[in-house]
Each structure stands twice: as structure tokens, then as C-alpha cells.
Structure 1
Amino acid sequence: MAFEIPKAGYQWNLTEGGGFESLKHSEQPLPQLGDSQVLVKLEAASLNYRDLMIVKGNAPHMLIPNVIPGSDGAGTVVAVGKHVRRFTPGDRVATAFFQDFVGGRFEAAMAASMLGGTLDGTLRNYGAFNEQGLVRIPSNLSFLEASTLGYAGLTAWSALFGLSDYKLNAGQWVLTQGTGGVSVFALQLAKAVGARVIATTGSSNKVQFLKDLGADHVINYKEDSEWGVTAKALTGGVGVDQVVEVSGPLSMAQSLKAIRVDAVINIVGYLGGSEGNEPGFSDSFTYRCIVRPISVGSRVMLEDLCRAVEANPERLRPVIDAKVFRLDQLKEACEYQWSGQHKGKVCIEIS
């Protein structure tokens, strides 16, 4: 299959200054395709909290100058380098966040392969990626849906199933927090394997949304300051088996109160800020739990997730916010997600 490839493409770059106004949209020549690279016509991207923090000047990791932001994307292969064997033009693909993290254990050197940080990301209409940093997307997903898998979807999968002796099983309890991408994926994945879910939210308008996704119980943490105690009581006093912790130190104190002995608390992020009386070594010992920071996951794990989604299209269909933005509306999309109005993933349609 042959594709007509333009000489230039449109992209966003992050310039100096910080804030959404530091995003600049322009037309630039397409780069020369390397021997092991795949040229992808990007059809969709999705936003993550990480992307917004980077644009606002609060990047947790090193950035290359003038980086093209974006952690997640999906599109069509239009050309391949002469050494590429995994893909051919016409394949529908999604990006892996760590381009060099193929499988096995995460190594420090892999941190230099982060899309939208140490490597140019997905907020452009054409991108060249190493063939090892792409996966085929489930046949039953649209590009918009598939663009949510590489970061948010995989982080949730890694949290619940990435620790071999603690993989989530039917009948166990999971505590999720909020209605962001990782939390919603975690809720869906947990229900798909027959687990029970307690979800938290700070908005009464989102309670029914979480129940419709299958949450067994929903707690409004703004109305219940001891929501961790409440969550444990909902399990019959035993405690939850896994927590997907997205909020930070202030939330962590309640997560510890919600768990059972030998539970796993998966640290995903700091949506609630990094300030607070952060629980430490003695707390983990007192509660006899595993506290596990999540580094998204490998390409092999992303392929596992894609197979699971394809086999369970209704239960695991990614939840996309009703408001979808065009590529040239990136600033508006960032403002919208930052406001917290969204339910599920905020997506960018690229044409």
C-alpha cells in the first residue's frame, strides 16, 4: 500500500516561558526517516496530567529544548525504514510511552525515551518512531479510543496486573480515585476480572458517572474527610487489596486506612499536589503493605492490554470525554482538562 507523503507537517512545540501560551503551532519539514523508524500519520492523541504539568513548566523529568509535547497517540503507518520488520504501510498503530522499554524490568536508561519529554511526542500530524516503540491497536477501537492506551491505559494495567504475585483477581477489592484517565481505566479493568471497586470523587456530579462504569460504591471525599475508614468499612472491615493512588501525600494517609494487611498501594501521581505530611517508612511497616511507584509499563504489557481490550470490547472500551478537540485547538483542550470538567479522557482529533 502506497501513501502520498507530504514534505511538511503541522506540530506544536513547547517554547520557553511555561504556561499554555508557551505552546506554538507551526508547519515544519518532515524529518528524514531512519532505517529502523516508522513514519506514522497521527490521527488522534489524548492528554494526560503529565502533559499539562510539562507545559506549565513543572516537568518532573528532563525535557529536550522546543519539545513536541504529547504522551499518547494513534495513527496509520505510511512509510517504513529499510530495516523495519514489525510493520508495513497501512497498519493501525499506537505509541508506547517509553520507546525503549520493550519488556522485562524497567532500567534507568529507559527514562531517556519518554515521548513528549526526552523525545518529541504526539501532538503533530506526522511523526517518526522507532519500530520497537509502537503496537498494533485493537481492531474494534477508533483512533481516538486507541490514543488513550499507551499512557493512561497501560499505567492502570501495570498497577493492577504488573506485580506477578499480586495480580488482581475476582472478588478482591480495589480503591480508585477520581475520574481521570488512569482511574477510569483501573475501574474498568477491575470490573472486567470480577473485582469489586470503591471509587472516590470530589464532585457530586460525577457519582453517577462512576456508578454507570460499574463502581460498587462511590465516596465523595469532600463530604467525608475519613473516606479511607469508610472504604475499609465497606469491605466488611477487611480492607481493600489494591489502591490506585493518583492524588499524593494528603490522599495517601487515607489510602493507608483503607487497606488490608499485605495490600498494594500503586503510586501513579500527585494530582492533589506534592505537599503534605507524606507517609513514610514507618507507615508502610505499620500497615504491612507494598507501596509501589508505577513507571507506566513496557511495550509487551501494552500489547497484553490491547489483546484484553480486543477480547472485551464493551467492558474495556476507553471512556472518552464528550468534548473532542482539533489539533489546532490544543490550548483550549489543555484549559478544559485543567478545569477538571472532563469525564474520562480528553482527546485531540488530528486531520
Structure 2
Amino acid sequence: AGMVESTGEGVTRFTPGARVISTFFPEWIDGRPTADARTLPYKTTGGYFQGMLSEYVIVNENGLVAAPETLDDAEASTLPCAGLTAWFALVERGHLRAGQSVLVQGTGGVAIFALQIAKAQGAEVFVTSGSDEKLARAKQLGADYGINRLKGDWAEGIYELTNDRGIDHIIETVGGENLRHSLRAVAVHGRISVIGVLAGSEISLPAGELLLKSPVIQGIGVGHRRALEDFVRAVDVTRLKPVIEHRYRFNQLAQALEHLDRGAFGKIVLTRE
């Protein structure tokens, strides 16, 4: 996130002085990304394209959107990846409706954004975590129920809390064998958004449960620019405030990465000043 310093010839979307945030996929504007069955769509900022850990960057105008008016630059910088991932899963692809139930796994950046977005949409939110302290913090943000995944079978906990109905939409941030538990916990014809692979990238599921419950299982790879623009407008309207556990300076990158390894509650950010 930052301010446009100057523009090149032919630039029409922004003028100097505009506050902007980057997009995760600079070339993915809307609809389907440019790719095919063989070539995966992974031309990302900070990967294929230049990253943002710099005082000045040169980017194509199509890889930027207007920053939300209600957030400062540090807060706005959390939207293009973690925030948009949660928004894309729940709203853009998930069509979340008021009164539905959402299960958020963990309390990292995507998870906390999912909690906030789900509550803003009028959903009932369940959170799993291995920390009672983090579950208490999640409830302070509006979570309706917290389940400590280290104190028993969390899917059984979902059965008890929902009278066996299960969860309409699960934000799956763990992957691996955990997806089997998400399949157990999801409601009939519910939805599982697969976002993280912390427990492993290989997935296998029991066919009977998958066929009879018939959930939508969708992979979420962040999202396109139009969805980010929608999300920015929603942030301004709802006054959603990203949860930032700590702000580090550019020269504190090593400490910031160590914090990530320990597991942040919400986001950490790097600032120039």
C-alpha cells in the first residue's frame, strides 16, 4: 500500500497522489485467470512480478486498486492477500448469506479476516484453535463459539454445537488429513474452501461421505482485481478494521518472519517508518 508518486505515458486509472494497494495477481482482472489445464495461473506479485518490500516500485496500473478511505496504509496492505482470500471464499465464490454458519480454522491472517467478514454478513461463526487464549480473543471479535482442537475431536464438538446439522461453510486452512475432519463437520450440501496446506498438500477423502453429503469443495487461490475492489468498498461501508498484531519496520524483516513462524493472531505488517 502507498501513494502514486508519478505516472507514465498513457496511464488513465490513477493520478499522482492517489492512495493505492497492489493486487496479488496483476493480470487477473475478473472472471477466470489466464491459464490452461497444463499451465497453472501463478503470476503473482512477489513471485513472477516484483514484490512490495521497497520504498518505490514500478507497477502496471492494472495491478493496483484504490485504497479504502477508512484504513491507513498499514491496515490497507493486509487486504490484497489474506483479506481477499477470505472474501473470495465466503462472498465471491461462497455466496454467504445471513444466518448461515461458518467454521474458521485457526487465528491467522486469513482466518481472522474470515471471522470478521462472516460476522459482517450476518453469519454464525465457529473457530477452532489449539490455544484457549486465542479462542478468547476470537470471541472478543465476535466469534459465537470456540473449540480447542487439542482437547478432543473437534468435529464431534461441531455436531454437539449444531445439533448434528454441521457447518454451511468451512474455511479449511490446515489441509492434509484435517480435510477428512472438515468433511465430517460440513453440512449436507455445504461448502469447504481449501486455502491452507500446513499439514500437507496431499489430500484423500472417503468416497461414501463425499458422495452422500455432496459438498462443494473449492480451492481458493486469493482472487481477482474486481473482487478486491468489491472488498475495498465493503470495508469502507462496514468499517471493518484488520487485526494487526504487530507493525515492524522494513529493517526488522527477520523479526517479522520469526513472528510469522510462531503464529500471529491476525496479521503482521512491515512499514517504512
The two structures have a TM-score, normalised by structure 2, of 0.94
For residues 315-330 of structure 1, what are the structure 2 equivalents within 5 Å? 316-321=240-245, 323-330=246-253
How much has 1:161 moved relative to structure 2? 1.2
Give the Å deviation of 1:228: 1.3
Q: Hey, what does 1:302 align to over in structure 2?
A: 228
Aligned partner of 1:113 among 28, 43, 47: 43
2:237 matched residue in structure 1: 311
| 3-state DSSP of counterpart to 2:267 | coil
Q: 1:129 is paired with a residue of what secondary structure?
A: coil
Code of the residue aligned with 2:64 in structure 1: it is L
Aligned equivalent of 1:80 = 7
Task: Tell me the residue number matched to 1:241.
Answer: 168
Q: Deviations over 1:162-210 (max 9, x none)?
A: 22xx411111000001111111011001000110001000112211111
Q: Secondary structure of 1:127's partner?
A: coil
- CA distance in structure 1 between the aligned counterparts of 2:199 and 2:14, rounded to whole angstroms: 40
- The answer to whether the Cα contact below 8 Å between 2:176 and 2:198 also exists between their aligned partners in 1 is no
* Aligned counterpart in structure 2 of residue 190 of structure 1, from 102, 118, 124: 118
1:218 is aligned, of 146, 149, 158, to 146
Cα distance in 1 between the residues matched to 2:14 and 2:159 = 48
Contact 1:190 1:196 (C-alpha < 8 Å) held by counterparts = yes
Determine which structure has more spread, i.e. the larger CA radius of gyration: 1
Structure (1/2) with the larger strand percentage: 1
Structure 1 runs of 4+ aligned residues shifted over 6 Å read none
Does residue 1:129 correspond to 2:51, yes or no?
Answer: no
Contact residue 26 and residue 62 of structure 2 kept, 8 A: yes
Q: Deviations over 1:241-272 (max 9, x none)?
A: 10010001222111111111111100001123
CA contact (8 A) 1:170 1:193 kept: yes
The match for 1:64 is none
Contact 1:173 1:242 (C-alpha < 8 Å) held by counterparts: yes
Match of 2:27 in 1: 100
* Distance across 1 between alignment mates of 2:171 and 2:146: 15
- Whether 2:130 is the aligned partner of 1:202: answer yes
Q: Deviations for 1:115-148, whole angstroms, at most 9, x for unmatched residues? A: 1111111111111111111011111101010000
1:36-75, Cα deviation, whole Å (9 max, x unpaired): xxxxxxxxxxxxxxxxxxxxxxxxxxxxxxxxxxxxxx00
**Deviations 1:204-236 (CA, angstroms, capped at 9, x unpaired):** 221111100111000000112x21121132122
Inter-partner Cα distance in structure 2 for 1:98 and 1:290:
24
Aligned in 2, Cα 1:88/1:203: closer, same or farther, shift over 3 Å? same
- 8 Å CA contact 2:176–2:201 kept in 1: the answer is yes
Residue equivalent to 1:148: 78
CA 197–128 in structure 1, closer or farther in 2 if over 3 Å, else same: same
Partner of 1:336: 259
How many residues align? The count is 270
**Counterpart mapping for 1:26-65 below 5 A:** none
* Alpha-carbon distance between aligned partners in 2 of 1:110 and 1:83, rounded to the nearest angstrom: 31
Structure 1 residue 309 displacement after superposition: 0.3
Counterpart among 267, 270, 273 of residue 348 in structure 1: 270
Inter-CA distance 246–188: structure 2 relative to 1 (3 Å threshold): same
Q: CA deviation at 1:282?
A: 5.1
Gap regions ≥5 residues in structure 1: 1-73
What is the one-letter code of the residue matched to 1:167? Answer: H
The answer to whether the 8 A contact 1:100-1:110 is kept is no
For the 8 Å contact 1:77–1:88, the answer to whether it is kept is yes
3-state DSSP class of the match of 2:168?
strand
Question: Is the contact between residue 101 and residue 110 of structure 1 (CA under 8 Å) also seen in structure 2?
Answer: no
SS at match of 2:235: helix
Q: 1:263 aligns with which of 163, 175, 190?
A: 190
- What do you get for the CA RMSD once the two structures are aligned? 1.5
Alpha carbons 2:166, 2:186 under 8 Å: kept: yes
